[in-house]
Amino acid sequence: MVIAEVADFREAARRRVPHFLFEYIDGGSYQQVTLGRNVEDLADVTLGQWVLRDVSEVDPSITLFGQRLSLPLVLAPVGLAGLNARRGEVQAARAANVAGVPLCLSTVSACTIEEVAAESGQPPWFQLYMLRDRGFVTAMLDRAKAASCPALVFTVDLPVPGARYRDRRSGLTGAPGLSGQLQRLGQALAKPGWCWDVGLRGRPLTLGNVAGVLGSSAPLSDFLGWLADNFDPAATWKDLEWVRSQWSGPLIVKGILHPDDARAALAAGADGIVVSNHGGRQLDGAMSAVKALPGIVDTVGGDLVVLADGGVRSGLDVLRYLSLGADAVLAGRPWVWALGSAGERGVAQLIAMLDAELRAAMALTGETRLAAGSGK
């Protein structure tokens, strides 16, 4: 099929990966109202158009936390992403590194921090959850340090998992034990290309960073159950201060939707925040990042690097977020769809597409340089 826009990667991935994986990446929580708002509210952002400004040379590069990026984009952390292609996070990180943008590796990635750092050319950013087992958290921080991860993204909007009906229906979470395994196996066998490339050649099929807790042979449902049982609903801002004391590099707090929480992140020692509702995967009915962003920028924009995610489906959407005051943008589902559709080549194609679309949008609005990404 012809890939002309992000939606085409989504369709290509739907055709290639098992149903339960596609549903996990694609879906939101409850009735998916917030998932829809992220896309719709972003599409409603109006851009100014100025003409006759000599836009023959457009440069979308920025500096973020001391790192030069070719465009104001970070591939967002997405759990299970690496199961969409053989050693998927390694492939995605290679494409990102060649393109000059970071990939942020999820705690629940298929590939370990060490594998991605060693095989992709340079270390990824790393995303961390606060779990009940502080020893595990400390060990993950130590591994991220040892791998020279340049930034830590601490996700705070998942004290308990949201209800994801699509995951229950697909058999990812709703069918325990042997029945769930058989349901997922049937869906996998229906995608022979994925079975050969990932199911057979991509082993071990585990969540690499947490495999040591349950053992490499534990089924996927065991990992998901362990995570659900170990997210810490008692975590507070004091825990963020503790993470700050353990991590000397850039610390970015992901999951901020209110100016008061942005102030609290600043007080706890964060260097940046991500204005985010977890891609509509947690609290359905929450405000979109687009609606939350301006008030947060007004509150802490001079003191924190403000990133945003949710609903990005084009390079034009990247510029929309920047026009509201974001320093850079995270995109999650698009790169996983691209990975599922064509592996490293798909992710490279996606980044090139977003780059070209952003450059065109900048030119059409009369901009040749970005003020974003001051590198605070």
User: Which residues are documented as binding site for glyoxylate?
Assistant: 24, 129, 164, 278, 281
Instruction: Return the amino acid letter for 212.
Output: G
Q: What strands, in cross-sheet order, belong to the sheet with 305-309?
A: 73-75, 328-331, 305-309, 272-275, 251-256, 152-155, 125-129, 104-105
Residue 23 half-sphere exposure toward CB, CA atoms < 13 A: 17
User: Which residues are documented as binding site for FMN?
Assistant: 77-79, 106, 127, 155, 254, 276, 309-313, 332-333
| Token pair in block for residue 171 | 């058999």
User: Which residues are documented as binding site?
Assistant: 24, 77-79, 106, 127, 129, 155, 164, 254, 276, 278, 281, 309-313, 332-333
Helix/strand/coil (H/E/C) assignment for every residue in 298-310:
HHHCCCCEEEEEC
Strands 73-75 and 328-331: parallel
Marked catalytic residue, from 86, 278, 320, 359: 278
Q: Say whether 278 is catalytic.
A: yes
Could you identify the residue written with the tokens 């769809």? 337
Residues whose CB is less than 8 angstroms from the CB of residue 284 and which lie 6 or more positions away in sequence, other chains included: 28, 29, 30, 31, 32, 33, 34, 35, 162
The residues that are catalytic are 278
